[in-house]
Amino acid sequence: MREKIAILLDEIHRFEAESKDQLEAFRIKYLSKKGLIPALFDNFKQVLPEERKEIGKLLNELKQKAQEIIELQQECFAETTQKKIKIDTSLPAITFSGGRHPLSIVRREINSIFERQGFVIAEGPEIEDDFHNFSALNFPADHPARDMQDTFFIHKYPDVALRTHTSSVQVRVMEQGKLPVRIIAPGRVFRNEAISARAHCIFHQVEGLYIDKDVSFADLKQTLYYFAREFFGVETKIRFRPSYFPFTETSAEMDVSCNICGGKGCNICKYSGWVEILGCGMVDPNVLEACGIDSNIYSGYAFGMGIERITMMKYQINDLRLFFENDLRFLKQFETLV
Ligand code: DAH
């Protein structure tokens, strides 16, 4: 009797039903009136009186185990059938919880401010050739300005690189020849720089370009003034300083009055009251010509700014690396913004 119980117990333990029918067959085999376990109970009368206590206990345990296994496996099948019924394809999708990345928030805001002024979004590839990233933008070969950009070249292809600025999109748009042009190009750029609180090898820029007849520096100033007031607040002042970029002539850098101290002087603006936010200028006639545009008829302006930089200014973030670490304690602070 003891061996029989042990054999059945072993069989029961190893049983795994693959279907409801198999489970029912198992129940019939072991627990139905004519099943193996009731048969053992029938034989119980033959057990010697001194062994009855122990054998009785083992028998009860066997029965209990068989019942338990059936119940447990029944649950599995019940669950899958229930799940099948629960799928209702007409239900609205589950809403995603979480927020936008601060760089996305700012990029969307910049896009919106320029879209309101008639600009449309343009895109270009992140892997660029020398012509679009440099030559067409009036960087002569061996010109020291190329060194300023710490380019990542593609191994074995000296002509192919990761774009170092979104100015390459200017060229891509202009060479299509559809005038006038009024675009902004937000995107990722790459430079071989050591990562620190103020620099990263991947960052984001927005390029702006307007080409038409009779475009002047005054148009550029007005467009950027509108941007600065919309983005940093109506009290914001702007100023332009002369600068140099190969692709613009005249070239300038634009500062905004410090949005932290309102221009009085603080450690963010290094007590000057001003913070530099972008480079800009009138598109150099050489660039227009390289893109097939007659510089005697058309003129234009361009500008470029770093998204990280103005995001740091707007939200008083002091370490650029935070944007790339995906630390939820940082990201959650932007959850409520759109
Ligand atoms: N491409 C420049 C850079 O990455 C930024 C820039 C400066 C863009 C002046 C412009 C411009 O369009 O006119 O540093």
Sketch the domain layout of the chain as residue ranges. Answer: 2-84, 102-334
pLDDT tens across 222-278, in order? 999 999 999 999 999 999 999 999 999 999 999 999 988 888 998 888 999 999 999
Residue with tokens 């927005």: 206
Confidence (pLDDT) at 82: 53
Closest C-alpha residue for ligand 1 atom 8: 304
Secondary element (H or E) of residue 210: strand 202-212
DSSP 100-168: --HHHHHHHHHHHHHHTTT-EE----SEEEHHHHTGGGT--TT-GGGGGG---EETTEEEEEE-SSTHH
Strand partners for 299: 212
Largest CA distance in the chain: 119
- pLDDT tens, position by position, 275-291: 999 999 999 999 999 99
- From 128, 167, 203, 251, give the residue whose CB has the most ligand 1 atoms within 8 Å, as the site to mutate: 167
Tell me what pLDDT residue 331 has: 95
**pLDDT of residue 81 exceeding 60:** no
Tens of pLDDT along 317-331? 999 999 999 999 999
Atom of ligand 1 nearest to the CA of 280: 13
pLDDT in tens, 33-80: 999 999 999 988 888 899 889 999 999 999 999 999 898 888 877 755
Ligand 1 — pocket residues by CB below 6 A?
Answer: 165, 167, 207, 245, 248, 279-281, 302-304
Specify the 3-state DSSP secondary structure of 242: strand
Does the pLDDT value for residue 155 go beyond 90?
no
275: β partners: 256
Annotate 267-314 with DSSP letters as a single string.
Answer: TTTTTSSEEEEEEEEEEPHHHHHHTT--TTT-EEEEEEEEHHHHHHHH
Q: What is the distance in A from the centroid of ligand 1 to the CA of 322?
A: 24
CA 280 / ligand 1 centre spacing (Å): 6
Rounded to the nearest angstrom, the distance between the alpha carbon of 307 and the centre of ligand 1 is 13
Average predicted confidence (pLDDT) for the chain: 92
Locate the ligand 1 atom nearest the alpha carbon of residue 248 and give its number. 13
Q: Is the pLDDT of residue 148 over 70?
A: no
- Which architecture, in CATH terms, is 102-334? 2-Layer Sandwich (3.30)
What pLDDT was estimated at residue 245?
95
Q: What is the pLDDT of residue 84?
A: 59
- Which residue has its alpha carbon closest to ligand 1 atom 5? 304
pLDDT tens per residue, range 14-36: 888 888 899 999 999 999 999 99
Distance CA 126, CA 204 (A): 11
% the chain with pLDDT above 70: 96
Pocket test for ligand 1, best of 245, 250, 301 (most atoms within 8 A of CB): 245
pLDDT at 80: 56
